[in-house]
Structure 1
Amino acid sequence: MNYKITEIDPSEYPHVVDLWEASVRATHDFLPEEDILFFKPLILNEYLKAVELNCVRADSGKILGFSGVAEGNLEMLFIHPDQAGKGIGKTLLDHAVLHQRVEKVDVNEQNPKALEFYLKNGFKVIGRSEVDGLGKPYPILHMEFEPEKKRNQVLNA
């Protein structure tokens, strides 16, 4: 399927946070409820405005998945659970790599599907941290894009 990438208006942030929460609940089963509630206002009030946001929308305009990029880092990539496996994440990642010069991403070690996704799409693990950026006990895998591998994937697609 061919998806169109669009920007996200700040007025849509509450919808983006709802999608983030649904995605996290479906994919981050290691996060306790108190941490989801801890991160939710940070996402809304700080993190979304700190990144360049893009999304894939349904024909109705509803956001199906979104990405956030800052300084060559893919800071967020979340897909609504109902839309998982339909190519939305790959579309957003390809856009981030090819048009936003993304070279790095951090992945929760406890999220093996995300790790597999990034490995399959041209990233390699280059490091590990025992805690996340806020010092919480969630090991993070630091990944870097392998441009030669990705270029070959794009050329052969």
Structure 2
Amino acid sequence: MGDDSAVTIRAAKGATEYPELVAIWRSAVRATHDFLTEEDFKRIEGNLAAMYFPAVSLIVAELNGKPVGFAGIAEGNLEMLFIENVARGRGIGTRLLHEAISNHGVTTVDVNEQNGGACAFYRSRGFVQVGRDELDGDGCPYPTLHLKLSSLLAG
């Protein structure tokens, strides 16, 4: 385990960086999304650079100058947050989430109900469930929880 101070957050460099981000996504999803069918995994992976990345503002976490995680934000919603499997558990996701909330206006996130680790991560960082859908955004049978920062629900 390294020093957390070696983590920096920056804007993505654009499409030239997409292959590295896809590799991070692949590592993270293989480790955390065991509920995905292989067909859905391949479909999503194929859409990342073509459709999903261009639709969001991407921020990248680097550890010692190497990208190890990223988050995608659109209209106040955290659309994606993935950490390379070997870098998980080091506070990198927390740093990305903090940056997304503090500097990019994130107040909501949708998370796969079957991804217990992600559900616990967001809940432990102040998000509460405000809704649920049986299908994900692509109409696939992966229940999705809609979470919102609890500090915004008061009053």
1:48 aligns with 2:53: yes
The TM-score with structure 1 as length reference comes to 0.91
Q: Could you list the per-position Cα deviations for residues 16-66 of structure 1 after superposition, in whole angstroms to 9, with x for gaps in the alignment?
A: 01110111010000011111101111111111011111111122x321110
| Aligned CA distance change for structure 1 residues 37 and 5 (closer, same or farther; 3 Å) | same
Inter-partner Cα distance in structure 2 for 1:147 and 1:56: 25
Q: Which runs of 4+ in 1 moved over 3 A?
A: none
Inter-partner Cα distance in structure 2 for 1:24 and 1:4: 22
Equivalent in 103, 124, 127 of residue 123 of structure 1: 127
**Secondary structure of the structure 2 residue equivalent to 1:31:** coil
Corresponding residue of 1:108: 112
Corresponding residue of 1:7: 11
Corresponding residue of 1:17: 22
The TM-score with structure 2 as length reference comes to 0.92
Corresponding residue of 2:102: 98
What is the RMSD computed on CA atoms of the aligned residues? 1.3
**Secondary structure of the structure 2 residue equivalent to 1:76:** strand
Q: Which segments of 5 or more consecutive residues in structure 1 lack a partner in the other structure?
A: 150-157
Per-residue deviation at 1:6? 1.0
What amino acid does structure 2 have at the position aligned with 1:53? L
Corresponding residue of 2:42: 37
Q: Report if aligned partners of 2:28, 2:82 keep a CA contact under 8 Å in 1.
A: yes
- How many residue pairs match? The answer is 148
Q: Which segments of 5 or more consecutive residues in structure 2 lack a partner in the other structure?
A: none
What amino acid does structure 2 have at the position aligned with 1:146? S
Equivalent in 69, 72, 75 of residue 68 of structure 1: 72
Write the mapping of 1:138-153 to structure 2, written as runs, cut at 5 A.
Answer: 138-147=142-151
- Between the aligned residues of both structures, percent identity stands at 45
